[in-house]
Each structure stands twice: as C-alpha cells, then as structure tokens.
Structure 1
C-alpha cells in the first residue's frame, strides 16, 4: 500500500480508502455485520487505513456497521465522516446545518462509530448559504478543541464549487472531498489549483464513476430501483458508458484491469491524496487495493 500525508494535517492515509455509501442500503442491496466485518478486515490486511462514511448513508446505518467492525483496532484507522443531513428513507434527505443540530449529528456519529473522536469531519455537500451559516464553523472549532474532531474538511457537492474550496483555510478546514474520475475532470480547472495553493488534502470520491469505469457495464445497462444509479437519465448513462468503452480501447494498457487503471489515473494527479471507491465485497477491496501497483513514487504528498 502507498501512504500519503493528508494536506497539512498529521494524518498518514492509505492512497486507496474504503468508501461506505453501499452500507447505507442505496446501492441495490443491504449489508449485515458479518459482511462489513469481512470487507473492513480484508482492507486492513491490505494496508488500507482510511474509511469514508456519512451521517446519511442510512440514518447513521453505515457508521453503525463500521463501529463494531473496527472495535479494538480504532487507532489503526483514519475515520472520515460527514454532517449536514437527516435521512428519511432511500434517496430522501433534508439539509440540517444549524450549529446545534450539527453537534447532535456529531454525537450520533460518535455513538454509531463507537469512538470518542472523528479524524476528519466533513461539511456534506451543502449549498453556499448553508456553508455560511452563522456560528457553524465556530461551533465545529470548539468540537476540535474538545478533542471530538481532529480535523475538519469540506465535501463539496459540485465539483466546480471553488467558493467553498477557497474558504477552506478561513473556516479551519484542511481537506476537500470532490467527485473526480476519468469521465469527470472538472476539478482540474479551479478546485485543484485552490487546494494546492492552500496545501489542502484531496479525497477523490466516485473515482470509478459509479462503476461506469469498472469495465463491467455496456451501454443499455439497467439498475434496480433501489440502486442510486437507476436515477440517472438513460441517455446520460449510455453516453458515459460509450465514453468509457472508448477509454478502455484507447487508454487502458492491454492486460490491465480497467478499474485498477481508473483508480491509478486519479492517484497520479499531484493534488489528489487518496481515492475512496466503494466496494461491494472482499474481491472488490482486493481489486481496489491493487491499483497502487500502477502508481509510481514521487507524488508531492507521499508519506
């Protein structure tokens, strides 16, 4: 495994992490504790130490599976979670960025994760008006002082949101999470330059473009109604899958797994600290971890 320093923090994280939205029952299936234990246990064996989750992957459901899975090994992991929403049902959320509500969300996350601190607590895809909520960042700063949060981050909803990115240092945030993959390179234009200027760590989410860069799907592919990908317009999905086929034909070396190539492609960018792909099973954890073999040393954030 490769390890990198997350921006100006003291966190040494694996270049490949584990995204856990799938544990929230919105990716076409449910998970039990045994399955979560197996996925995170194998990740640890492979040297992965970064877990990314959120308050609204289920109603703290994803967090409640992670907590027991890492019990007794908490110090081996870097836990990143988020705040800003109340989960009401599959694909149903409401914003909740009131400072006191955010403190309650933090306490619920700590309880679900069975820990007394969060390594990276991230503003979760809220609009700029909510980002500027009076007192929000002051309250979060006090939670940092209390030791319940080690570092603050911002998970921007739009991968062109340079407003929130540019204010990261001002509000005390040290990392940006953003959608970035070979099919969506928008962050390269303004977000990444701002991150580099501020020495912010960058977590690239959706690095496999929701599986479209896995090499498993062809144009015309369909997804069940309880899979978040079913909500994408058919024309848009087919366009991306056609583009992915062309990338596989012209850019992916022969004999190289496309998913591993796609993760490594993200990790080569000098602004990107780590990728946080989801994984439905142990085999996908292993495939994701293998991507580091395609990444050369010499990255600016190498630990």
Structure 2
C-alpha cells in the first residue's frame, strides 16, 4: 500500500481507503454485517488506514459497524465521517443553522463510533445555504480548538460552494465525485485544491460499480438500490464506454483497478474510497495501489473514450 499526505492537514492516508456507505445497508442492496466487519478487518490487514463513513449511512448503522473494528486499533486508523444530511428535508428551511446543532450531530457520531475524536469531519451538505455554511464553519473552529477534530472539510461537486466554504482558508479536505466517467473536477476544482493545499478524497471512483465492467445494458436494479433511479439512456452509454475501456485490462489489472489507478494518477488526489461489502472486493480495490500507475498511452486512450466535459 502506498500512502499520501492529506493536504495541509499533514495526515498520512492510504491511497486506497474504505468507503462505508454500502455497509450501512440502506442504499446499495443486501448486505451482511459480519461480511462487512470481515471486509474492514481485511482492509486493515492489507494496509488500508482511511475509513470514510457518515451519520446518515444506514441511519447510523455504518458508524456503529466501524466502531467494532476500531476497538484497540484506533491509533492505526484515520477515521472520517460526515454530518449534515441526517434528518434533512433540504427545503424550505435549513436544519443545521446553528453551530450547536452541528456539534450535537458530531457528538452523536462520536457515540456511535465509540471514540473521543475524529480525524476528518466533513460537512455533508453539498448545496449552499448561508446559515448552514456559517454554522458548520463556526462548529469546525470549536471542534478543532477542543482537539476533537484534526481536519475539516466539505463534500461537494460545486466549485462555487467549495470556494464559499473555504473563504476563510480554513478547509483542509474536499470530498468529491471523480472518475473516468465523471471528469468535471479536472477543469477547476482539482487545480484549486492544489493551489490551496486542500486534500482530495475521491468518492465514486468506480462510478457506483459501472467501472467494474460487471453490468450490461440489460442490468436492472431493484429494492433499496439507489442505482434504480439512473436515467436509462445515460446508463447504457456508460456501459458502452466501460466496454471499450476493457481493452486496457491485463492479466494483473482488472477494469476496476484501472479506474482506481486513473484517479490516483491525478496529483491533486490524496485517496480514493471505493465501497466494499466483502473481503474479496477489498482485495481487488487494494490491488490498484501498485507502481507504475497508468502510461501516457493509456491516459490518452481514456481521454478518447471519456474526455473531460
């Protein structure tokens, strides 16, 4: 496993992390808690030290599961969680409009995680409402002063919102959707993060499974799987692109590993956090942390199939 520095925070993180949305059990189809725990323990064995979750994942269930694997190992783990979406109706009124409400959400996460500090705490509200932005910024200052948080950030794909959130130059980390199939961040956001020395945590590096190559145009999603709401025409177009990218697979590199190496090839990126429900999926994800990453020829071919838009 290779490690990188998380921006100005100075925190060293594994370049492949563990995204814990799926194990919450409320958005990605069936999940088995024991398998989830085994997957996380296996990730630790393979050198993964960055675990990312949120209070809203499974209504706290993801955080509760993570608490079971950090006991006795807290000093080995860089723990990241997010707050702001729990109970949020978005409209018409802001919910987290006072720093005390943000701090209460943070304290609730601490209880579920059974720890007394968080390494990286994110605002999970990705749209801008002035009262909530200010509340988070004030709460972040207090949590840092009190030694309960080492680094703070925001999870958003909106460049203007990121700049607004960072108007006091106080943001350490950004979490953003970035992949071969979604390269919008390359235009403005990633260069800005490099200029500001903001660490970048990449969510969606496998584009919700599309870049594993396991889907066909006939694939359907049911139950509580968030992918059932995808636009069908868009989905079929992405499946077609993934099919073309399969020509870059090798005996020692799957399409999913190629997709992870693509995001790691950008110098602004600190870590990628693909989701995993099983130890087997963890092994494949971690297998992307090898050198060399992608060649200039491979990057040029990717640019032909899925250019920046």
TM-score (norm 2): 0.88
Alignment gaps of 5+ in structure 2: 295-309
The answer for the alignment partner of 1:281 in structure 2 is: 278
Secondary structure of 1:173 counterpart? coil
1:81 aligned partner: 81
Q: State the superposition RMSD in angstroms.
A: 2.0
Contact kept? 2:54, 2:82, Cα under 8 Å: yes
Name the counterpart of 2:4: 4
Post-superposition offset of 1:97 = 2.2
**Could you report, residue by residue, the CA deviation over 1:7-42 in whole angstroms, capped at 9, with x for unpaired residues?**
01121000000000012211001332x223211110
Deviation at 1:293, TM superposition (A): 1.6
Alpha-carbon shift at residue 126 of structure 1 (Å): 2.7
Contact 2:18 2:273 in 1 (8 A): yes
Cα distance, 1:93–1:283 mapped onto 2, change above 3 Å: farther
Distance 1:13 1:71, change over 3 A: same
- Higher helix content, 1 or 2: 2
Do 1:39 and 1:281's aligned partners in 2 also have CA atoms closer than 8 Å?
Answer: yes
Deviations 1:132-182 (A, max 9, x none): 6444312221111111111101111xx242431464262521011100000
Partner residue of 2:215 out of 214, 217, 223: 217
Match among 280, 287, 291 for residue 290 of structure 1: 287
1:29–1:46 Cα change, 3 Å: same
Within 5 Å, give how 1:1-303 maps onto structure 2: 1-25=1-25, 26-32=27-33, 34-87=34-87, 96-98=95-97, 99-130=99-130, 133-156=133-156, 159-165=157-163, 167-168=165-166, 170=168, 172-249=170-247, 252-255=248-251, 256-296=253-293
What CA distance in whole angstroms lies between the structure 2 residues aligned with 1:166 and 1:198? 13
Compared CA separation, residues 222 and 294, structure 1 to 2 (3 A) = farther
* 3-state SS of 1:120 partner: strand
Q: Which runs of 4+ in 1 moved over 4 A?
A: 92-95, 294-297
Higher strand share: 1
Pairwise CA distance, 1:67: 0.4
What's the secondary structure of 2:281's corresponding residue?
A: helix
Asked if structure 2 preserves the Cα contact closer than 8 Å seen for 1:207 and 1:277, the reply is yes
Tell me if the contact between 1:162 and 1:191 (Cα under 8 Å) persists in the aligned partners: no
Q: Residue in 2 aligned with 1:300?
A: none
Unaligned runs of 5+ in 1: 298-303
Q: Is the 8 A contact 1:59 1:86 kept in 2?
A: yes
Secondary structure, aligned partner of 1:29:
coil
Query: Structure 1-normalised TM-score?
Result: 0.89
Corresponding residue pairs, total: 289
- CA separation in 2, counterparts of 1:101 and 1:107? 10
| Cα separation, 2, equivalents of 1:257 and 1:241 | 16
**1:301 matched to which residue of 2?**
none
